[in-house]
Structure 1
């Protein structure tokens, strides 16, 4: 993982108050995979259903803030390195 992706993971961990182990973080190479991981972790610690759309919007905002990419580019299929140009 490059510096951009490390900083992104740290921002996501801080915002959602979760920990993403390094060995898992390296496998989350698309926005959709990271979103799916977040939802699963948030569901584990909550008795209430997780609002997947809200989680995606918050994740998209973090990605845009951290990387400067336009929100319309942050789609589930987007790869962090190839499509969003994070190193």
Structure 2
């Protein structure tokens, strides 16, 4: 997993009459530990929706800046000398 990298899935609901009219789906954004996990989930989500009714995209985010981590993950900062790196790691509650 990349240091301090997570991804968020954004979904829009589009009008069946006019595909140019789309609005955000009323739900919290889905957050994933990696861009690959997000893309897999997005592919599955779009496959279950009527064609063109829902569109979506995954975007990389720095979870240490946003403070939003997927369930079961924690942020850990490792400092070696003058260099610090943040990592997202699996965490059991």
Q: What TM-score does the superposition give when structure 1 sets the normalisation length?
A: 0.32
Q: Select the structure that is richer in helix.
A: 1
Relative contact order, higher structure (CA 8 A, sep 6+): 1
Q: Select the structure that is richer in strand.
A: 2
